[in-house]
Structures are given as structure tokens and as C-alpha cells.
Amino acid sequence: MATIISGKELSAKLKAALAEEVKTFPARYGRVPHLVVILVGEDPGSVSYVTGKAKACEAVGIRNTTLRRSVDITEEELLSLIRDLNADPEVDGILVQLPLPRHISEAKVIETISREKDVDGFHPLNVAALWQKQPCVLPCTPKGIIKMLKEAGVSLAGKRAVVIGRSNIVGLPVAKLLLDENATVTIAHSRTQNLAELTRSAEILVVAIGRPKFVTADMVGEGAVVIDVGVNRDPETGKLCGDVDYAAVEPKASVITPVPGGVGPMTITCLMENTVECFKARF
């Protein structure tokens, strides 16, 4: 039986602590933090993430504005909106929900958000700071994963960690954070050969590949710590599932995160923390 790390429970605890802190802000700073989330289009996954973010803001006492824009918005219109928000003294954090429609450059959008309001930690200057161990806003999902591992008492120093996935949002930054914890990190991806052999050797396995139940029991070593970042629909049942075949892998793992209720809530909670961090840095 594996220890199951409940991201939902840890999130509730962290959000309650954050809410207590935010309550003191009107007296201390004259207002509460303000997060603006921009959603382009109506992708159901993105809509559900954005709704989750708004609910978390409400729970923590953060002011939230969600700006919904049509999928036809031009790149220049979106960049111009971001520039307006950058200049608005009452906005502390700006998050543009990804992915964006193909006619809009994500790179341009990310670099247009002012570094000081980049609650995702995606701005090139924040990414550079992360890789140089300089102070920066940490990307939410990787930050949440490290918090979960620490909460579960998993020691990382010297451990063999394998990350499946090399995205800017999860794979690359989580690999860097694991490295900063002195794990020995390998990043696997779609072109990796003998993937199962590699993942079986992992003491810590982080899976962020976006394919339902991709990691099967034969890919996991006995006693491994398994972190599942995936949020997918199971093609057979239509239910939410991770990148890990949970039922098959859980008996082999020493520690595992469920989907839903694992990494997802922690991502949103870390976004709340990052918003508070950006807010405080402005005073």
C-alpha cells in the first residue's frame, strides 16, 4: 500500500494559512492582491482551470478578474491588453491561460507580461533566474510538486529522479527544482529509447506527458515515489485520469499522487502564493 499524497488536503491547509495572511493586508497595505486571468477561447479544459483559479482566489481573499476573449482576438489586441494590465497599479498578477490559438505567439505573450506580474514564472527573466538559482517566482506546478514531496517526507538528495516530459511549464522546471534538491535527474521524452528500463530505475518518477494511463506497472520500480501531473479523460470511461495507470501502479509505489486531487490543486494553491508574493514585492 502506497502513501497517497492528497494535494487537496495540503492545498486546503496552505490556502487557509494564506487566507489568514491576506486578511491582514487591507490594514497593512490598504488593499488585497489582485490577480487577472485572461482566457482566450472556450477550450473546456482551460475553462475548468480558470474557474478553479477564481474559486481559489475567493477562498484566499484575493481579488480576481477573469477576462474572457474570443478565439478570434488578434495577437496585437491581446498584447495591448497585457500592456494595459502591466501599467495598471491595481493589478498585481497577470496569467494568460495556455495554450493559445495558433495565430498567437505564446512566446510574445509571455515576454510581454511584466516580470513583476508574472505569477506563472514563465517570463524569460524568471526562467533565467530559476536556472541561475537567483530569486524568482517559481512555476506553479513544479513548486507544488516539491511541496508535496516535502510534505510526504520524501528525501531527494542523491536519489535517482526521472521526469517524463520536457515542457517549459512542467518538465524542464521540475527537473531543475529536483536538481536543486540534489537529486540525480534524467529527463525522458517521446524520443527516449528503452523508456521502461529507464523509468524502472527511478526512485522518484514525475510524469508530465499528457497521455492517459501512459505509465503502466511494468514501468515502475518497487517502492518508487510516483508523481502524476496528467489531467486527461480516460477514453474508455470518460472519467478524469492521470498519465499513470493508478490502479496498477499504486501497489508497487511507496508514495503516489492521485488524479484528481493530487498535483492539480497544488498548482492552483501555488498560484495563490505567487500572487501574494508579487503583491508584496510591489510595496
**Interface residue list for ligand GUN (CB under 6 A):** 95-98, 120, 140-141, 169, 267
Active-site residue among 53, 117, 147, 159?
Answer: 53
- Phi-psi map region of 41: left, alpha, beta (phi>0 left; psi -120 to 50 alpha): left
Least CB distance from residue 116 to ligand GUN, whole Å?
16
Residue 11 near residue 268 (C-beta atoms within 8 A): yes
Residue with Cβ nearer ligand GUN (85 or 249): 85
Least CB distance from residue 141 to ligand GUN, whole Å?
6
Residue 269 near residue 19 (C-beta atoms within 8 A): no
Residue with Cβ nearer ligand GUN (140 or 206): 140
Least CB distance from residue 274 to ligand GUN, whole Å?
10
Look up 97 and say whether it is catalytic. Answer: yes
Q: b/e per residue, 48-77, with b = 16+ CB within 10 A?
A: ebbeebbebbebbbbbbebeeeeeebeeee
DSSP for 34-88 reads: EEEEEEES--HHHHHHHHHHHHHHHHHT-EEEEEEE-TT--HHHHHHHHHHHHH-
Least CB distance from residue 15 to ligand GUN, whole Å?
17
Least CB distance from residue 95 to ligand GUN, whole Å?
5
Residue with Cβ nearer ligand GUN (10 or 170): 170
Nearest residue to ligand GUN, by Cβ distance, number only: 98
Residue with Cβ nearer ligand GUN (120 or 245): 120
Residue with Cβ nearer ligand GUN (34 or 159): 34
Alpha-carbon distance 59 to 62, whole Å? 8
Active-site residue among 15, 117, 118, 120?
Answer: 120
C-beta pairs of 100-109 under 8 Å, 24+ apart in sequence: 100/40, 101/40, 101/41, 101/71, 103/74, 103/75, 104/40, 104/73, 104/75, 104/78, 105/75, 108/75, 108/79, 109/75, 109/78, 109/79, 109/82
Look up 134 and say whether it is catalytic. Answer: no
**Sole residue written with cell 487566507:** 19
Active-site residue among 15, 97, 118, 245?
Answer: 97
- Residues forming the active site: 53, 97, 120
